[in-house]
Amino acid sequence: MYNKLQYISQGNTIEEQLHNIHEALDNGCDWIQMRFKNQTDSDCYKLAEAAKFLCEEYLANFIINDNVALAQKIAADGVHLGLMDMKIKDARDILGKTKIIGGTANTFENIKNHIQNGCDYIGLGPFRFTTTKEKLSPILGLESYESIIAEMKKQNLEVPIYAIGGIDLSDVEALMQTGIHGIAVSGLITENPSKTKLITQLNEKLYGNVIV
């Protein structure tokens, strides 16, 4: 089963990105989603190549945000697609059956469509306001997670759901109680000066005090 903690990379340069990815890996995060927006193809390739090498060293999953062609080119573990990106079905045709394909969702209908199209996991959000994303979908909050997960159970729909968007350490227990699989965070890890402690605490809450 997939790791319950995903780190979505941050940084305006290749150097910043690699530093943040390395820090997350070194402090116990074993799922990296590379998000490097509005950059040249050359820089994206350089970063992806270096980040993949790091993830292989740490035996971590390496997912690329949005860029299916790049994910195929460097043989990443998979790709994460936003609501306005390539269709999951088309990405599957390109990447094949063995690669991980995740999708962003904001509603139950989004989730239903993603599952029908063969999505492996879903990032459902935003939980609350976040400055990480420019075009933010409607805020969900705890109640929406509860109702969406309940509707999934009602219709026997199964796929790992990750909460995303402005999540703090204090939110994790309540979010996990809704029935989600895990969380995806960026700034929470990037900006924390005590990453080992934070990631340990996150994993304790995500896995129920089981050492991972």
Mean pLDDT by 10 residues, the chain (212 residues): 95 98 97 97 98 98 98 98 95 97 97 97 93 75 97 97 97 97 98 97 87 46
Q: Give the single-character DSSP code of 76.
A: -
Is 1 annotated in a binding site? The answer is no
* 34 known ligand binder: yes
* 211 located within any domain: no
Q: Is 66 annotated as a binding residue?
A: yes
- Report if residue 198 sits inside a domain: yes
With respect to residue 150, please indicate whether it lies within any of the assigned structural domains. Answer: yes
Q: Is 40 one of the annotated binding-site residues?
A: no
Please indicate, yes or no, if residue 159 is contained in any of the structural domains: yes
Q: Domain total for the chain?
A: 1
Sort residue 34 into left (φ over 0), alpha (ψ -120 to 50) or beta. beta
Whether residue 4 is annotated as binding a ligand: the answer is no
Q: Is residue 84 part of a domain?
A: yes
pLDDT attached to residue 6 = 98
The enclosing domain of 62 has a CATH number of 3.20.20.70
Residue 176 counted as an annotated binding residue:
no
pLDDT of residue 47: 98
Residue 212 placed within a domain: no
133 carries a ligand binding annotation:
yes
Q: What is residue 209's predicted lDDT score, i.e. its pLDDT?
A: 58
Is 156 a known ligand-binding residue?
no
Per the structure, the complete domain to which residue 68 belongs is given by 5-206
Q: Residue 98: what residue type?
A: T
Q: Tell me, what's the pLDDT at 208?
A: 87
**Beta strands 78-81 and 100-105, pairing class:** parallel
CA–CA separation, 109 and 137 (whole Å):
14
| 196 annotated as a binding-site residue | no
Is 192 labelled a binding residue?
no
Q: Does residue 65 form part of some domain?
A: yes
Query: Is 85 known as a binding-site position?
Result: yes
Residue 98 in any domain: the answer is yes
What are the structure tokens assigned to 56, written together? 């292989």
What pLDDT shows up at residue 115?
97
* 24's tokens: 């997350």
Question: Rounded distance, CA 4 to CA 183, Å?
Answer: 6
98 phi, psi to nearest 5 deg? -85, -15
pLDDT of residue 134: 63
